[in-house]
Amino acid sequence: MQHSTRIAPSILSADFANLGEEVRAVDEAGADYIHIDVMDGHFVPNLTIGPGVVKALRPHSRKIFDVHLMISPVDAFVTAFAEAGADIITVHPEAGPHVHRTVQLIKSLGKKAGISLNPATSVDAVDHLLDQLDLILVMSVNPGFGGQTFIPGALNKIEALRRKIEASGRDIDLEVDGGINFETAPSAIAAGADVLVAGTATFAGGPGNYAANISRIRGTGG
């Protein structure tokens, strides 16, 4: 049930002084999702944005807001991000005591639910959640910062998760985030990923290059 490759530019690499215009620009350039990295300086070593920024960005795009919560404990913030305009809310199994309950909370708010697997988190972490999930995110770097180098071992995880998704018969996005660029994207796609998060590679060169960058990452442009 694999879909065509979708691109989710990470606004972590955008110009934060012009964030609304940046979201509008990547939307018009062909982005499928808008990927929003939320970091708390505790679960990961960086501090980014809160639900207020998501709410402010919402009028700038009708594309899917793919919100990745790298915060712990996560449950207290899920409702705020749902109300701010998130369409998909992705959490880490380590970010709270009961990840199944967290997923149920996301679904109860009418949102799609995702699970993110850090480089050292086993693919088996999704086994008892597959019937609830809409997205699985493979971190191909250790979360916390943009511009890191792709970890090759992530390809084996993507392949293993693709098999699990196919066996489940469910329509679950398989997303990869970290070090995705023109060189690494083809390998991720070949392994089974159908949503690519790309920050640095999307935003390189400014708005005039966004459409060409997105096409190259997707594998449809020169």
Which residues are known catalytic residues?
A: 37, 177
* Cα–Cα distance list, 13 to 17, 109, 201 (Å): 12, 29, 9
Distance between CA 40 and CA 49 in Å, rounded? 8
85 carries a ligand binding annotation:
no
147 carries a ligand binding annotation:
yes
How many helices (H) and strands (E) the chain has is answered by 8, 8
Distance between CA 207 and CA 24 in Å, rounded? 10
177 carries a ligand binding annotation:
yes
E-only strand ranges, the chain: 6-9, 33-39, 64-70, 88-91, 112-117, 135-139, 173-177, 195-198
Distance between CA 161 and CA 159 in Å, rounded? 5
Given the structure tokens 């998760």, which residue do they identify? 161
145 carries a ligand binding annotation:
yes
144 carries a ligand binding annotation:
yes
**Three-class DSSP category at 160:** helix
Which residues, other chains included, contact 204 with Cβ-Cβ below 8 Å and sequence gap of 6+? 213
Question: Which has the closest alpha carbon to 34: 81, 71, 86, 97?
Answer: 86
Count of beta carbons in the 10 Å neighbourhood of residue 160: 17
146 carries a ligand binding annotation:
yes
Supply φ then ψ for residue 12, to 5 degrees.
Answer: -60, -25
178 carries a ligand binding annotation:
yes
200 carries a ligand binding annotation:
yes
50 carries a ligand binding annotation:
no
168 carries a ligand binding annotation:
no
* Annotated binding-site positions: 10, 35, 37, 68, 144-147, 177-179, 199-200
* Annotated binding-site positions for substrate: 10, 68, 144-147, 177-179, 199-200
* Annotated binding-site positions for a divalent metal cation: 35, 37, 68, 177
